[in-house]
Amino acid sequence: MMKSVVLAAALFGALSSSAFGDDRYASRPPVVLSPDLTAPWIMQLGGAPVRPVVYQRPVVQQRGLFAPRVVRRAPVTQQVSAINPGIPVVRQRLEPQFLPQIVDYQTKERPGTIVIDTNNRFLYLVMDGGKARRYGVGVGKPGFEWAGVHKVTRKAEWPDWTPPSEMVSREAAKGHYLPARMDGGPENPLGARAMYLGSTLYRIHGTNAPWTIGSAVSSGCIRMRNEDVTDLYERVKVGTRVMVI
């Protein structure tokens, strides 16, 4: 009798284990891809198009010394970059005047010259026939304004960034500690492209903060949206004359 019970228990255990094993592998849960393209583990399978992801970027405003902060959120759209597939691009609504456009522009400068109007936050690429291609830019903050004439001496795609020692010291005094060097990429402040001006530390470059276009926020460099600086980069050669006014 005891042997029969033991045999039945063993047989039941074997069948149960087999059944549980079959249940475990018979219907696997579906693979769900997060829509967050910034997640490093995401792989876009099958090459299917990815919908833009809209998220809210907080903007903090201080109402008073002891009053609670008020946070409003501006809509930002994130998409896969056409420049480098798989790298997210942040898009935010800009004032219409800062979007790329062809405008009337009378100047004595030759076609192909870049003229940067820092007061109005515009960069002009002079064209034939009294026209120019105009882009919105971010410029130097108060105390970092400059003017002059230089030439594009070098161009770089997804440039590395080495903060100048003066900037490192200045930011450290504010409690902000910068890296000694940063590889090129979507998080790099220089963005997708850079055009170096003369022997200075100034550049026309992209940005990882496109919402700053139209503002005076940089340490003297001229910043553009990544899609705009990439367009300009393809139209400009080393040796191009750049006038900053």
3-state SS of 164-218 is: CHHHHHHHHHCCCCCCCCECCCCCCCCCCEEEEECCCCCEEECCCCHHHCCCEEE
Q: Which of 192, 163, 188, 190 is nearest to 178 (CA)?
A: 163
Q: How confident is the model at residue 70 (pLDDT cuts 50, 70, 90)?
A: very low
For the chain, give percent helix, strand, coil, nearest 5: 20, 30, 45
The answer on pLDDT for 18 being more than 70 is: no
- Rounded CA separation 147/37 (Å): 39
Q: How confident is the model at residue 178 (pLDDT cuts 50, 70, 90)?
A: confident
What is the per-residue pLDDT for 94?
79
What is the per-residue pLDDT for 144?
92
* 72 phi/psi in degrees, rounded to 5: -110, 155
Of 66 and 108, more confident = 108
- Rounded CA separation 108/150 (Å): 17
The answer on pLDDT for 152 being more than 80 is: yes
Of 104 and 1, more confident = 104
**Number of other residues whose CB lies within 10 A of the CB of residue 97:** 13
The pair of three-digit structure tokens given for residue 114, joined into one six-digit string: 């870049």
Of 87 and 147, more confident = 147
How is domain 96-244 classified at the CATH fold level?
A: L,D-transpeptidase catalytic domain-like (2.40.440)
Q: Which residue carries 């003229």 as its tokens?
A: 115
- Rounded CA separation 218/215 (Å): 9
Highest mean pLDDT among 32-46, 77-91, 119-133: 119-133
- Rounded CA separation 140/231 (Å): 22
Mean pLDDT to the nearest integer, 8-30: 47
pLDDT digits 0-9 by tens, 187-205: 899 999 999 999 999 999 9
- Rounded CA separation 85/190 (Å): 18
pLDDT digits 0-9 by tens, 220-240: 999 999 999 999 999 999 999
**Active-site residue (options: 221, 229, 232, 242):** 221
Check the CA dihedral 148-205-197-124 and report its sign: negative
The pair of three-digit structure tokens given for residue 3, joined into one six-digit string: 């042997």
| Domain chopping of the chain, boundaries | 52-92, 96-244
- Rounded CA separation 46/48 (Å): 5
Q: Which of 143, 186, 138, 147 is nearest to 167 (CA)?
A: 143
The answer on pLDDT for 120 being more than 80 is: yes
**Active-site residue (options: 121, 134, 205, 223):** 205
The answer on pLDDT for 121 being more than 60 is: yes
DSSP state, residue 42: -
What is the per-residue pLDDT for 205?
97
Whether 150 is catalytic is no
Residue 71: burial class (beta carbons within 10 Å; 0-12, 13-18, 19+): exposed
Using a pLDDT cut of 70, give the percent of the chain over it.
Answer: 62
The answer on pLDDT for 33 being more than 90 is: no
